[in-house]
């Protein structure tokens, strides 16, 4: 009996210790994973958007102006004219607002994508394996929608700063104050619906295409990971497909966002589309700037996906040592 009393607590302690030790370790690992995704996504967005900022600003200016006709020659002329009249750094005007938006947007989008992939993988029974096509598309769409919902007012501010002279808005805060005072807080969400409708195919197809190309590459090449140039190429294809599919809604979004300062009034998506088509035609109106997007988009998305993947790999190597790749 004395032995039983003595052995009971010892046996109980041996059973409980691994459980209490394991839970904090799993939580800590999950926190590291989320933090890595947030940091990698933030860097990916910042690098990609800064690289294409002059082209991005030019595209927004053409999208917002119903009279402008975008061609490579016109785009070059506008960039050169802006450089002569406002200086070299004016080509990056609005990029500070872009960074304020794109850093949280990209961080949330990439992190959300990793989490949605895990949730869908658990649901469909693909833990640790590549998702099948439909869940792959859903994970990308949900990630883009989540990021867009959280950061939309910053996108509105960025669009306003891109199409107005620097005398009109002195800073990001000034844009918020003037819009709130002169047009109402509702204006900060003007164009929100076409944004979400555009993000679903854009983010879904972008992530779907990139993940699919990586999977196909691994199956046919025998290599577990693509090289950086291959990642850039896969990302470029993803950007080309995603942006082409959602482009008309991107034009509608920009028109609705910049209507207040360009003398237009757009009350709904359908009415905006009808007016654009009536005044400018289907192709010249709803696809205005698409040729520039075929240059800008693949570069930006390719850089973004590649930066995210390589940063993830680097952070994991720093934490766990070499030999651990995505």
CA distance 206 to 271: 28
**Residue 16 pLDDT greater than 70, yes or no:** no
Phi, psi (rounded to 5 degrees) for 242: -60, -45
Please say whether the dihedral angle defined by the alpha carbons of residues 153, 69, 277 and 300, taken in this order, is positive or negative: negative
Residue 117 to residue 39: CA distance in whole angstroms: 18
Helix segments in 125-191, DSSP class H: 133-163, 172-182
Domains 67-187 and 190-305 are alike in CATH topology: yes
Q: What is the mean pLDDT of the chain?
A: 81
What does the pLDDT look like over 233-285, one tens digit per residue? Answer: 999 999 999 988 888 888 888 788 777 666 666 668 888 888 889 888 888 88
pTM for this one? 0.75
> Per-residue confidence at 67, pLDDT binned at 50, 70, 90?
low
d(CA 156, CA 153): 5
Q: Which two tokens stand for residue 80?
A: 């050169």
Instruction: Return the domain boundaries, the chain.
Output: 67-187, 190-305
Q: What's the CA gap between 111 and 45, in Å, rounded?
A: 12
Q: The domain 67-187 belongs to what CATH superfamily? A: Mitochondrial carrier domain (1.50.40.10)
- The rounded distance, in Å, linking the Cα atoms of 112 and 193 is 21
**Residue of 87, 83, 78 whose CA lies nearest to 59:** 78
Residue 267 token pair? 């009350």
Q: How confident is the model at residue 17 (pLDDT cuts 50, 70, 90)?
A: very low
> Averaging pLDDT over each range in 91-95, 172-176, 188-192, 205-209, which range is the top one?
205-209
Looking at domain 190-305, its CATH architecture is Alpha/alpha barrel (1.50)
Do residues 312 and 211 make contact, with C-beta atoms less than 8 angstroms apart?
A: no
The number of residues in the chain equals 326
- Chain center to CA of 238: 12
CB atoms within 10 A of CB 189: 13
Q: Locate tokens 């651990």: which residue?
A: 324
């Amino acid at each position: 009996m004395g032995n039983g009393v003595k052995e009971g607590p010892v046996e109980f302690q041996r059973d409980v210790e691994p459980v209490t030790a394991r839970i904090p370790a799993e939580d800590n690992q999950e926190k590291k994973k989320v933090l890595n995704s947030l940091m990698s996504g933030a860097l990916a967005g910042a690098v990609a958007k800064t690289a294409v900022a002059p082209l991005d600003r030019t595209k927004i200016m053409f999208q917002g102006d119903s009279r402008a006709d975008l061609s490579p020659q016109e785009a070059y002329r506008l960039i050169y004219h802006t450089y002569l009249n406002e200086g070299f750094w004016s080509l990056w005007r609005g990029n500070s607002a872009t960074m304020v938006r794109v850093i949280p947007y990209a961080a949330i989008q990439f992190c959300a994508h990793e989490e949605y992939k895990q949730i869908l993988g658990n649901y469909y029974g693909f833990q640790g394996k590549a998702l099948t096509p439909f869940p792959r598309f859903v994970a990308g769409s949900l990630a883009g929608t989540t990021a867009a919902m959280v950061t939309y007012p910053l996108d509105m501010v960025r669009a306003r700063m891109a199409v107005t002279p620097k005398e009109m808005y002195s800073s990001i805060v000034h844009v918020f104050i003037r819009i709130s005072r002169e047009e109402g807080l509702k204006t900060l969400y003007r164009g929100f619906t076409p944004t979400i409708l555009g993000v679903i195919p854009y983010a879904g197809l972008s992530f779907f295409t990139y993940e699919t190309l990586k999977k196909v590459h691994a199956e046919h090449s025998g290599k577990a990971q693509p090289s950086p140039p291959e990642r850039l190429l896969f990302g470029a294809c993803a950007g080309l497909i995603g942006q082409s599919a959602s482009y008309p809604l991107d034009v509608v979004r920009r028109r609705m966002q910049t209507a207040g300062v360009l003398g237009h009034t757009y009350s709904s998506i359908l009415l905006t589309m009808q007016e654009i088509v009536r005044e400018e035609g289907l192709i010249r109106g709803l696809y205005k700037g698409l040729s520039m997007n075929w240059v800008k988009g693949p570069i930006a998305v390719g850089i973004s996906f590649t930066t995210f993947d390589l940063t993830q790999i680097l952070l994991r190597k720093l934490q766990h040592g070499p030999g651990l790749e995505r």
